[in-house]
Amino acid sequence: MLDADFMTFRARELLEEPVPESESSLVEFLQSCPQRILRNSISPKHTQVLPGQVIRAKLPAIGFFQFQIVPVVDLQYECPTGALVVKSISWDLFGLEAFGSLHDKFDLKLLGDFRAARKDTRTVLRGKAELVIKLRYSSPLKAIPRSVVESVGQNVTETILRNVKNRLGKKVAAEYSQWLTERAITSVDSGA
């Protein structure tokens, strides 16, 4: 995709979300519950677990000029020590079927890395995510000035990633708190 007609939009977000309990508990949570974290961060009804440590996620619709685009992204995850790493491995877009196959006109890459960390005396979930979208400047977009498409495309890319960050930080912190509660109840029930 090194064509002069391609436009590249990049966004990067950093996350630092305070969480209760200890760093070691957060590490255990990240490593033992990746499906739970990803499914509940997106929405269980909009995700599907696939083989090979993959989650298929149907993301909220995106308005791009007069189009309503619904991205579906397959996210592969791994859990190296103390972290949860996520990357997109495939994608599809719904709402643009009239334009035929988009795989030669569009590309999407998402990479996220989340870790337990200490900040002062608190445990925090620290993460970073990068979204790169490549779009071929071709019909029907050529009817719109390239500078306008570039500006809107960059804004959409940044907005998508910012929304993901905001949702993810809150949802992971809530899931972690729920997991701690479940673990405490299990310990009490088992007589620990």
Residue, of 150 and 186, whose pLDDT is higher: 150
Mean residue pLDDT across the chain: 86
Task: Quick: pLDDT tens for 2-55.
Answer: 567 889 999 999 999 998 877 789 999 998 889 988 888 888 899 999 999 999
Task: Quick: pLDDT tens for 142-169.
Answer: 888 999 989 988 998 898 888 888 888 8
| pLDDT band with cut points at 50, 70 and 90 for residue 189 | low
Task: Quick: pLDDT tens for 106-136.
Answer: 889 999 999 999 888 888 999 999 999 998 8
What is the 3-state secondary structure of the chain? CCCCCEEEEEEEEEEEEEECCCHHHHHHHHHHCHHHHHHHHHCHHHEEEECCCEEEEECCCEEECCEEEEEEEEEEEECCCCEEEEEEEEEEEECCHHHCCCCCCEEEEEEEEEEEEEECCEEEEEEEEEEEEEEECCCCHHHCCHHHHHHHHHHHHHHHHHHHHHHHHHHHHHHHHHHHHHHHHHHHHCCC
Walk me through the domains of the chain, giving residue ranges and CATH numbers. 6-189 (3.30.530.20)
